[in-house]
Each structure stands twice: as structure tokens, then as C-alpha cells.
Amino acid sequence: MESITISKIQNWKKNKKKIAAITAYDFSFSRLFSNEGIPIMLIGDSLGMTIQGHNSTLSVKIQDIEYHTKAVRKGSPNSFLLSDLPFMSYFGVKETLKNTAKIIQAGANMIKIEGGKWLVKTIKELSKRSILVCGHIGLTPQSVDYLSGYKVQGKEQNDAQRIIDEASILEEAGIKMLILECIPSLLAKKITENLSIPVIGIGSGKYTDGQILVMQDLLGITDGKKLKFVKNFLSDSGSIQNAVKKYISEVENGNFPNEKYSF
Ligand code: KIV
């Protein structure tokens, strides 16, 4: 696979080519995903749950993201890697820059931070130093207790408007990509149309420029209550490789997520 760059991803939005992204945490899956043609991988702080076995992302440290980013980069030299700055690692410019440097030196192309308006200064400071930043709004798992659980966001008019405004404020501040998590599909559609940067959705319907899933969800190996937006691509695919191919093709041809997997 030739190197995936932010300008290439930007062109996919312009040309309406849907983007299939996935979380990855280790060398072997990273290699498999890139061999099957996944262009973007996220070293997400979801690793607090999927790898470390906690019930939230709050325990994840910058060293954890650094370690897993290195492993994923080894498996996939040419993919576009997006790594989370974990809980409390981006409060204060100095701390943010120090932590960003660790993640970029571990192999990430872009860092992802959760939140709205309060991040404007941070995004500007990072952008000034040529760091690619991805925003993350809607359901923001690092605020799980504040939000009283993992719930769909933006169902009420006021809340929907707040999310629309936040997306534009973040774009203006300098983010180059945005993740929308668990919001109604028509709200995600509006935001995707408003912004010129690529918008990737998870649990946010079919109208975003691309989709991302947690790899364990996509492979049907997550325990507990089945989330509405999660599809098990492995169950009728016969192999992990085929499941990943199926995911890419369903995202690219617009079949995933349909109504059944949307809010
Ligand atoms: O950490 C993660 O896996 C994420 C995705 C849910 C987008 O942020």
C-alpha cells in the first residue's frame, strides 16, 4: 500500500469516496488490516477496555498509547495512524506538546482529542507546530461519568445545535479530521455537509465521509450488551481477513451502516 497522507484523505472527501477505518493496538492485526486495504487505523484509548479489561478509557496512560502506537506502526508502515491523547494528558499547552511529541515519535501521523470549544487554544498551539489534530465530539468516552453513561448525544434540539456549533468551532481552530460518536444520523449528515474536513462516524449513521469501528466489535468478540451500531462482520465471513474485506466493501458501497445500525 502506498503511504496514506492527509491530502489523500481530504481528496476522498471531495470525491465522495467513503473511508473505512478501524482501531488497532498491535503488530499482527495492524499488518492484517493494512494487507486487506484499511487506510486509517486508530490507536484508541478504547484499549483501556479492549486490551486492559477496565470498564472505561479513564485508566489509560500516555505510555500505553505510545507502546501500542509503536507496535501498530511496525505492522503497517504506510497506513495513516491516528492516536488518542488519553484522559488528562492534554490539559495545559506544555503538557499537551510533551505528550504529543511522544505519540508522534512513536509513529502516529495525527493525534485525537475529545471535546469542544475549550480545546480551541490547544488546537491552535498544536497546528502552529504543524501537528495534525483530529477532534472527537458527540459521545466522548473520557467524559463518561459527566454524561451519566455511554448514551446517544444530540437527541434534543439544544444539544444538537451545540454539537453543530462545536464542529465548526473546532474546524476553524485547525482540526484536520473529526470523529462523531453516537449521534443521530441526520445530525451527523448536517455536520458532514457543513465541514470541509473529513468526518468519520461511529454510531452516527451512513452520511459521514467514513466509518470507524473498534476491531473487537467488528469481529464479534466483545462481551456484554450488543450495541445497536455494532455489526459482527466475522460471523458469516469464515476468516478475519474476509471479515475486514466485507467491512471495507460495505462502508465503501454505502451498505454499512444502514438504518438497523443507526440512531
Ligand atoms: O478509543 C477509541 O477507540 C475511539 C473510537 C471509539 C472512535 O475513540
pLDDT tens per residue across span 85-111: 999 999 999 999 999 999 999 999 999
Residue 223 has pLDDT above 90, yes or no: no
Q: What pTM was estimated for this model as a whole? A: 0.97
Number of the ligand 1 atom closest to the C-alpha atom of 179: 7
Residue 1 has pLDDT above 80, yes or no: no
**Catalytic residue flag (residue 181):** yes
Number of the ligand 1 atom closest to the C-alpha atom of 141: 8
Number of the ligand 1 atom closest to the C-alpha atom of 44: 1
Residue among 95, 167, 88 nearest 126 (CA):
95
Residue 46 has pLDDT above 80, yes or no: yes
Domain 6-261 superfamily per CATH = Phosphoenolpyruvate-binding domains (3.20.20.60)
Ligand 1 pocket test, pick from 72, 142, 181, 199 with the greatest ligand atom count within 8 Å of Cβ, gives 181
On whether 3 is known to bind a ligand per the annotation, the reply is no
Measured from CB, residues less than 6 Å from any atom of ligand 1 are 23, 42, 44-46, 84, 179, 181, 202, 212, 214
